[in-house]
A and B are shown apart, each in its own frame.
Chain A
């Protein structure tokens, strides 16, 4: 395949960025999207041009590092995958592909296509855990948990923290990210104990960090590479409401 790539280049967080156009040739349709970018970078290095910086690590769709906005869609034109799992067979020969970083107030650009998602760690630090220390816990089978609840908790826990939900939301809201963790833990007896407090603390932190509010457009659910349902946002809202009623 021969392709034209329009890629966002930005030297550092303060610099003004712009699109650059590059051509790549002889790309195999069986290669992944990031492998196509590897080919581009090899070409740029050979031409003494600085290669394009982008986040990536596991390249199997689980670490959540990769984060590209491709032809106007987070993680590109396929469903239920991350950019590293996107394959070139999803594109046509001679196509022009536009590649941008996540664009959101919560995620400032570091360089080129790489953004700073530290805010997600901060939200998580505000309460995305069960407050138990190592040791002194009961036997794993002491509390039976209905299989349905465990399965639904696992559905929510599948979140990889990539930020596609924020990048795709017109409000730049992180509600699906927050909901995934709050809902997972609220569904399990171990996490239920502090569920309301958790919801309140995480939402407060989310607001504080400049993420927008949820207006139920559902865009996040569509672009989530792990197919996390906005039903979890409803559970988050319930816990949040409980917390406010308790105040």
Chain B
């Protein structure tokens, strides 16, 4: 029998979740109190799950590395959250949201999971409004919607350019209510460093208190990872500085399969890179593509003049501008999905039409300002325009914004079944940390939807199906040899790192890894570049373990040690990403192999050989991992080449 069992319920697509809930096992209230659940991460997925499970009566312990759960990087999501409410009466439905998400993901996501996501999307909006999330409203007092890429309907709910912040603060409020009620215990500035298995099941974690460096042992009948994505493997990304892949990698080393690590989303509208010292990239919300038009100079000579500062973009006549997205994709225009928009920008810049440093294109609001007035644009995007001006020192109301693609989101993640359970029994994975819903490309405003769907409306059901069999398991002592062993191993690793006493800082090595990843495992990959990447990463790993320098002590707040532990895992994951990209001899969504493209330069999928989810099984240090495959079957959607023309 295959090692992969996705446990998709029987029945028609629209009935699977309904049937699942009707027949799953539940835990009675008296037993809930006896069961401990550990949740790692306090973003949308983690906070909403902790609140919901606490409300049900479970004992929850939740962990974050930040000083407060409210700082989790969900807070930075700008544009919005999708739902199939069809309030604008423009033809939306659960099926259409399901269809758009599968298509947007380039037919590499699991049908049953995506349909469930679309089904619960409306409940999320209701829940958030009840919590007091101040969504944008129209004068009649009802909720406003806007459009995002990859959809022909307006289904995105938003709170100015701070939707992630408002949704997270809603979940944070719900979490705080449970902390006050005593059902949830919060551990901030505490980072998970290992996962502990007892008799094959996930039974706890080892965590490091970042303030005093002490290692803590925590038991749980079940463990939930809500630890986000791994975009920081590229060093420069739109992720927060602390976002990391370590929890997922520890789970992988303990037997959780890692799926589709090569699927990375490159967001088309970020502020371009401006120098060597840069520490992160700032996103300009995709919502700007509702009113902004993307262009580059038609003639290379004009692009050159603009780069040299001899010509101002606002003075270039209309007929000399190439609105390349509108030209290539008339049906979706500036609202094509992110992967398509990113590749098109790279194509124009590589062809010599880029502006700024040469790696930038314009996002122009002039026609929207002429049509709607400056006030309307300001009310829609004011905070984004201000953010841009503070960073670039240029006024986007006058001069078009410069943008370029940047690493933003990772569709890959730990493999989970329909119940969001990984291949380690008792270990659940939710939000960006799992692989399940976005295939090879995520649509805008769907990350918030998935995080909250998993936390509020999916996990609180599915985890009970598992825990109903655990009600007889007594709380275990953390003196068990399994906990001892985990603590011994992590102590050895920390001591080893502290004692290298080499010459290089963590960041200098991380930047080098980022450059390898961007050049060779980035927007355009080839068999050769991926082979080189694996070799170079292995060299860099050696450098890391021989020449790293961490000042300070292990038993004190030590940011360099925290970063070193995270980088040691990024180095492993970087290699796995290159490996995954190499075996996938096709182009799909965010994964673009130069060898596999159509005559027009579009991604060329190979459904015959690659319509599967890759699931990598760890096979020991310094040994090649084993590739397992979950076949993707599309029963309710006809698989086609994506066409946004």
Contact = CB atoms under 8 A, between A and B. Distances in A.
Interface of A: 11-12, 28, 30-32, 34-35, 38-39, 41-42, 44-46, 48-51, 53, 55-65, 78, 80-81, 85, 87, 89, 110-111, 114, 116-118, 120-121, 124-126, 128-135, 137-141, 144-147, 150-151, 153-154, 157-158, 160-161, 184-185, 188, 190-191
Nearest 4 A-B pairs (CB), nearest first? A144-B141, A129-B173, A137-B130, A154-B134
Given A89-B393, A111-B556, A135-B456, 15 more contacts: A44-B551, A50-B552, A51-B551, A57-B242, A60-B387, A63-B73, A87-B391, A114-B557, A118-B67, A132-B127, A134-B51, A138-B126, A157-B165, A158-B162, A184-B134
28 contacts: A35-B278, A45-B551, A46-B503, A48-B551, A50-B552, A57-B71, A57-B242, A58-B241, A59-B241, A59-B279, A63-B71, A63-B76, A64-B68, A65-B66, A80-B386, A110-B211, A111-B556, A114-B557, A121-B188, A125-B177, A129-B132, A134-B51, A134-B52, A145-B137, A153-B132, A154-B134, A157-B165, A185-B132
Contacts of A55: 67
Given A34-B279, A59-B240, A130 B130 contact: yes
B460 interface: yes
Contact of A134 (B139, B174, B283, B391): B174
A11 B75 contact: no
A90 B55 CA distance: 48
B87 interface: yes
A188 B159 CA distance: 14
Contact of B123 (A32, A117, A135): A135
Contacts of B137: 144-147, 150
Chain B interface residue number, banded: 35 or more
Contacts of A61: 387
B240 A63 contact: yes
A80 B382 CA distance: 13
Nearest to A130: B132
A150 B138 CA distance: 10
B598 interface: no
Nearest to B508: A42
Interface string B431-472: 000000000000000000000000011001000000000000
Contact of B68 (A121, A129, A133): A121
Nearest to A139: B126
B507 A150 contact: no
Given A58-B240, A132-B130, A147 B75 contact: no
Contact of B559 (A42, A53, A85, A150): A53
Contact of B507 (A38, A129, A153, A158): A38
A66 B138 CA distance: 35
Contacts of A38: 277, 279, 507
B52 to A, nearest CB: 4
B409 to A, nearest CB: 15
A161 B70 contact: yes
B68 A161 contact: yes
Interface string B13-34: 0000000000000000000000
Contact of B241 (A57, A78, A150, A160): A57
A117 B280 contact: no
B142 A126 contact: no
Interface string B124-157: 0111111110111111111100000000000000
Nearest to B177: A129
Q: Which of B130, B136, B240 has the most CB of A within 10 A?
A: B130
A64 B277 CA distance: 22
B455 to A, nearest CB: 9
B126 A128 contact: no
B113 interface: no
Given A51-B559, A158-B162, A35 B71 contact: no
B282 A134 contact: no
Contacts of A45: 505, 549, 551, 560
A81 B280 CA distance: 17
A135 B508 CA distance: 48
Interface string B49-69: 001100100000000001111
